[in-house]
Amino acid sequence: MAATTMAMAGSSAANASLRVESKAASSLSSSAAIGRVGLVKQQQKQRVAQRMTVKAAKELHFNKDGSAIKRMQAGVDKLADLVGVTLGPKGRNVVLESKYGSPKIVNDGVTVAKEVELEDAVENIGAKLVRQAAAKTNDLAGDGTTTSVVLAQGLIAEGVKVVAAGANPVQITRGIDKTVIALVKELKKLSKEVEDSELADVAAVSAGNNPEVGQMIAEAMSKVGRRGVVTLEEGKSAENSLYVVEGMQFDRGFISPYFVTDPEKMSVEYDNCKLLLVDKKITTARDMIGILEETIRGGFPLLIIAEDIEQEALSTLVVNKLRGSLKVAALKAPGFGERKSQYLDDIAILTNGTVVRDEIGLALDKVGTEVLGTAAKIVVTKDSTTIVGDGSTQDAVSKRVNQIRNLIEVAEQDYEKEKLNERIAKLSGGVAIIQVGAQTETELKEKKLRVEDALNATKAAVEEGIVVGGGCTLLRLASKVDAIKATLDNDEQKVGSEIVRRALCYPLKLIAKNAGVNGSVVVEKVRNPSRVFSGSALLLLTCMWQFD
């Protein structure tokens, strides 16, 4: 009995032991499975990291046998040869494919350069280097981008030759830099101030010898002044047109359509209008009670320009306007932050008013009509406001313009300079707008680029002066290199100076080549001291055919 009991106990213990072992085995199996899953995930992460590492890797190219430089130069030549066909009066157009929209037909160097992407990575690096030169020229001058590309090609081509012969590239570069700095000084001596009668010619040459465009740009500058703002728009007709917006105009419209005085035009128009300028939010009508009461008693219209006008104050203005007891309109001040305050100050100077702001101790509820400015006329639409001064503040406006010009001289960013120039134009009394017309979208884009180039070239001529065109001035500068070489430190720097001399011939040679004339022959004839050329490349080439 005891034996039977012990046997049963042993059997139960064995079964229990088997169950425990089975559970343990199952647990171990699960752990192993989890371990395998974790290992698989880790391996997947490693493979992803490896793929990412491969994508981020850079291919290295060493110039041991000169092959890397040759490939980069090949990229430079491909870009420069494509851009170069647009140079000169006989230059051709380039058609650019567009993935979206119509193709572009362009005659502008920087536009062509931006579209070039070469398949070979090393060649593409060379193309990018020259593209930077074109982009920088476009930023600084707005035109002459093709010439800068051709000059860069010449410097690189001549430089590669001497470096391959064993010259020290560091010393050569120093020689190039010193020569260029000296030649820029010589160039300034050769330039002369552009006359009003020459503006049309300058613009026409840059627009591809288009006298119509040249005359339009000259007319625009005559109406708004040489330093006035001239902008371009896409016209809706096939013809180009020019119109001038008189007075100060900015992109802010009325806050409420209930201020409208002309329902057909949906505009607010007042003559002999007073202006209240506030450099903060107007929150309640209580702050304006004094000014509004004097406005009603005086019977004059009032334009309120503030940072913002909240609902309570706005409702009071609208109700009194609709009742006919108050001639009023309100709008938000143009600009934001510091620029907003500057615009308000400009408007105050134009209208002989005072900006109400806490910084100078003026509270809106304490001031009277003494802070109000005066405008001969104001026109406010839903999108824009035009203020025409009465002419009594001309001296103050001139001083303000001079202050802004001083700010332009020290401004570093192009955007800041552009905004400062806009302020000058608004204060000076006008903005000229050229609308470019065309039959098709492709033609419109091409014409707009040409007009833009012409406008930028004319602005540069006004600021920096003009020189003889057609590559003649660059050739004339080449004759100054000998004197510069004598001031350099060593022979290798003098080699760099000689590289600049040779590169200066490249633009004229290409202008002649594009016109079907032997470039080297033209260069020699222009170098002849007995022949003096002036004017454009077209005139130069005409003279070439008349010789001999």
Question: Do 377 and 275 contact (CB within 8 A), yes or no?
Answer: no
Three-state DSSP at 536 gives coil
The CATH number linked to 98 is 1.10.560.10
Q: Annotate 484-507 with three-state secondary structure.
A: HHCCCCCHHHHHHHHHHHHHCCHH
Q: What is residue 208's DSSP assignment?
A: T
Token pair for residue 300? 């004059």
At residue 278, φ and ψ (nearest 5 deg) are -130, 120
Three-state DSSP at 348 gives helix
436 and 513 co-located in one domain:
no
Q: Rounded CA gap, 418 and 424, in Å?
A: 10
This model's pTM is above 0.75: no
258 and 322 co-located in one domain:
yes
End position of a domain, from candidates 115, 145, 166:
166
The CATH number linked to 263 is 3.50.7.10
pLDDT digits (tens, 9 = 90+) for 324-360: 989 999 999 998 888 899 999 999 999 999 999 988 8
262 and 367 co-located in one domain:
yes
Residue 172 belongs to a domain: no
73 and 158 co-located in one domain:
yes
Average pLDDT, the chain: 83
Neighbours of 426 (CB within 10 A): 24
223 and 306 co-located in one domain:
no
Q: Which residue has the higher pLDDT, 174 or 236?
A: 174
Three-state DSSP at 473 gives helix
The pLDDT of residue 134 is above 70: yes
The pLDDT of residue 27 is above 50: no
Number of domains in the chain: 4
Domain that holds residue 440: 209-247+429-463
Quote the pLDDT of residue 243: 81
Please provide the distance, in angstroms rounded to a whole number, between the alpha carbons at the two ends of the chain.
143
307 and 261 co-located in one domain:
yes
Residue 18 belongs to a domain: no
CA angle 14, 16, 20 (to 5 degrees): 115
440 and 350 co-located in one domain:
no
Mean pLDDT (whole number) for 230-254: 83
The pLDDT of residue 256 is above 80: yes
Residue 4 belongs to a domain: no
106 and 227 co-located in one domain:
no
Quote the pLDDT of residue 90: 86
Alpha carbon distances (Å) from 313 to 257, 288, 304, 306, 513 = 16, 8, 12, 12, 71
Q: Rounded CA gap, 331 and 115, in Å?
A: 43
Q: Are strands 241-246 and 328-332 parallel, antiparallel or unpaired?
A: unpaired
Mean pLDDT (whole number) for 445-452: 86
Quote the pLDDT of residue 197: 85
pLDDT digits (tens, 9 = 90+) for 46-100: 665 555 544 557 788 887 777 889 999 999 999 999 999 999 888 898 898 877 7
311 and 270 co-located in one domain:
yes
End position of a domain, from candidates 439, 463, 487:
463
Residue 456 belongs to a domain: yes
Quote the pLDDT of residue 419: 84
Token pair for residue 512? 């002649």
534 and 510 co-located in one domain:
yes
Token pair for residue 171? 């010393």
Quote the pLDDT of residue 530: 58
Mean pLDDT (whole number) for 444-448: 86
Mean pLDDT (whole number) for 365-369: 88
Residue 498 belongs to a domain: yes
Q: Are strands 373-380 and 385-388 parallel, antiparallel or unpaired?
A: antiparallel
User: In the chain, pLDDT over 90 holds for what percent of residues?
Assistant: 36
Residue 59 belongs to a domain: no
